[in-house]
Amino acid sequence: KNQVEQSPQSLIILEGKNCTLQCNYTVSPFSNLRWYKQDTGRGPVSLTIMTFSENTKSNGRYTATLDADTKQSSLHITASQLSDSASYICVVSDRGSTLGRLYFGRGTQLTVWP
């Protein structure tokens, strides 16, 4: 069964600190992995996309890593800001269908305190 597991479920950090969110998946055949940010009351917004051949990708203070052998990804947030408070969702796409079916994790709820 294709699954996406995220940890931790929730995380509280102080403003300015770094944090790392984890994503493990069993989706096969693998196409790509995206991290989405979902602010409260809003729809998810794509942060990064990782394909099979990519190990790391940065988008400002967000850095995503991918280990396709162990089927693990992480999202590292540097120098956190209050606006980083959101749910971060790991989404894996398979290449077994033309729809590019997406498998969603339950998200990590990040809270940044001043």
Q: Which residues bind another protein (CB under 8 A)?
A: 4, 9, 31-32, 34, 41-46, 49, 51, 89, 93, 95, 97-102, 104-107, 109
The DSSP-derived string for 56-111 is EEEETTEEEEEETTTTEEEEEE-S--GGG-EEEEEEEEESSSTT--EEE---EEEE
Say how many C-beta atoms besides its own lie within 10 A of residue 16's C-beta: 11
Tokens 């400002």 map to which residue? 60
CB of 16 to another protein, least distance (A): 27
* Nearer residue to another protein within complex by CB, 45 or 79: 45
CB of 105 to another protein, least distance (A): 6
CB of 95 to another protein, least distance (A): 6
